[in-house]
Structures are given as structure tokens and as C-alpha cells.
Amino acid sequence: MKSKLGYIKFVLLIALVAFLFGFAEKRHDNRKMTGTEVHFTDSENLYITVDSVNNLLIQNEEGDSNLGEETLDLNKVETLLNSNDMIENAEVFLNLDGKLSAIVSQRKPIGRAVGNQSFYLDRKGKVMPLSENFSARVPLMLGFNEVNIFEAYPLVSYIKNDSFLSKHITAVNRLENGRYELKMRKLDFVVYFGAVKNIELKFNNFKAFYKKALIDEKLDTYKKVNLQFGNQVVCTKK
């Protein structure tokens, strides 16, 4: 008798848990969205604004705040945000208070092509359009289009990730022969880099030259610094 009573209690307990779970899920599904909120992982330079992201969140039925949460497809909302030209990655989720929230990482420019075509090269080596909201302080890229710019990515990326080079190099110029020249901030000489190879070696040589010339106060005496000859830095005086 006791075992039968215990079995009945167990069945009732299971039924109660299932009921409470179903009730909570139904209540959660019927809850209305209370709005949206946007967080940027880097909020200093906004290539896309909070308002623009909010507009994307409510652009179609997936982001309509009048819909119940059961109608939301968060993957579709994320896909919508990630298709934006200024967004590198977006994560979308629902808060406990019913808000549709987005954590947004913007694309990061490392160079800006100027000329017949104007656009950015981003840190992943992809073409990025200019933003109406902010202009990035990155080296200018001369003589490039949306096809040949990818060959310069290793060079421009190296410059961007080096504190000394990113401070002093203001432009990357692609010559007709496919070689490269670099322009320096507040200095008259041109750095002839040559082909995009042996990048680390060439820049280490350049840094050693720059340090020595700075100590000797000779930086202003050169018009061209050539890095293409292996371990040598060949300078041409004014």
C-alpha cells in the first residue's frame, strides 16, 4: 500500500513539474517585447550609430516590438545586422525584462583608398565603404582600386599593428610597377619599400636607421630611403 501511495505521489510530482514548466514557458512566450537596446564593444568611433542599429532591429517583423517573443527568430535578426557594411559581428538576445538587445562590434579600418574610388580596407582585409558618421585616422592608400588593394593588406596590416609605424606613416603609394612607397609624417623623404615581402626585416632595418639618424640629427638631410636591398638601408641625400 505504501509503495503504491509513493508511486502516486511521484506521478503527481512529475505532473506538477510539467505543469509549472509549461505555464512558465507559455507566460514567457506571451510576454511582449518592451523595447530595444544596443551596446558597442568599442564606442569611441561610431561608424554606425545607435539609432541606425535600432532601426535595423525594428526594420521587419522579427524586430517589431508589438510581437510576442515566440515569433522572434534571433538568428534572422543577427543576420540582418551582420549584413550591414559597418558591422563586423553582432550578437542578439532577449533580456529578462523583454528587451531585444544587440552587442555590436564594428569593422575596423586600417587604410583609406583615395582617388577615383574611395573606401576603407578593414582589419580583415576586406573592402569597407566610407562612413557618413566618422572618418578614420588611418594611412591614405594611393593608386589602389577594389581589386589590387588586397595585395597591400599584409603591409598595411603590419603598419597598423606597430605603434611606431602607425604613428609615423601617413600614406602608402602603389607605383605603376606594383612596388610601394611610404610617406612619413612631418618628414620630407620618401621610403621606398619595394615589393610586399620581407616586411618585418625591412621595417626593423628602417627603425634602426631612423633611430640612428634621429640621434645624429640627419633625418632632414634625406630625400629617399630605400629598403629593398636586404639588410641594407640605402639613402639618397637632398
* pLDDT-above-70 percentage for the chain: 79
Q: What is the pLDDT of residue 162?
A: 97
Does the pLDDT of residue 9 top 90, yes or no?
Answer: no
Q: Whole-prediction pTM value?
A: 0.78
Does the pLDDT of residue 21 top 60, yes or no?
Answer: no
Cell of 118: 574611395
Q: Helices (H), strands (E): how many in the chain? A: 6, 12
Q: pLDDT band at 34, cuts 50/70/90? A: low
Place of cell 615589393: 195
Q: Which domains can be identified in the chain, with CATH numbers?
A: 32-106 (3.10.20.310), 109-237 (3.40.50.11690)
Query: For residues 155, 157, 159 and 162, what is the CA-based torsion angle, rounded to 10 degrees?
Result: -140
- What are the respective helix, strand and coil percentages of the chain, to the nearest 5? 40, 30, 35
pLDDT in tens, 132-159: 989 999 999 999 999 999 999 999 999 9
Residue 143's region, left for phi above 0, alpha for psi from -120 to 50, else beta, is left
Q: What is the pLDDT of residue 56?
A: 83
Q: Lay out the sheet containing 35-40: strands in order across.
A: 35-40, 99-106, 87-94
Q: What is the pLDDT of residue 59?
A: 67
Q: What is the pLDDT of residue 198?
A: 94
Mean pLDDT of the chain: 83
Give yes or no for a contact between 154 and 196, defined as CB atoms under 8 angstroms apart. Answer: yes
Rounded CA separation 105/48 (Å): 10
Q: What is the pLDDT of residue 61?
A: 44
pLDDT in tens, 202-231: 999 999 999 999 999 999 999 999 999 878
Q: What is the pLDDT of residue 13?
A: 53
Q: What is the pLDDT of residue 165?
A: 97
Rounded mean pLDDT, 181-190: 94
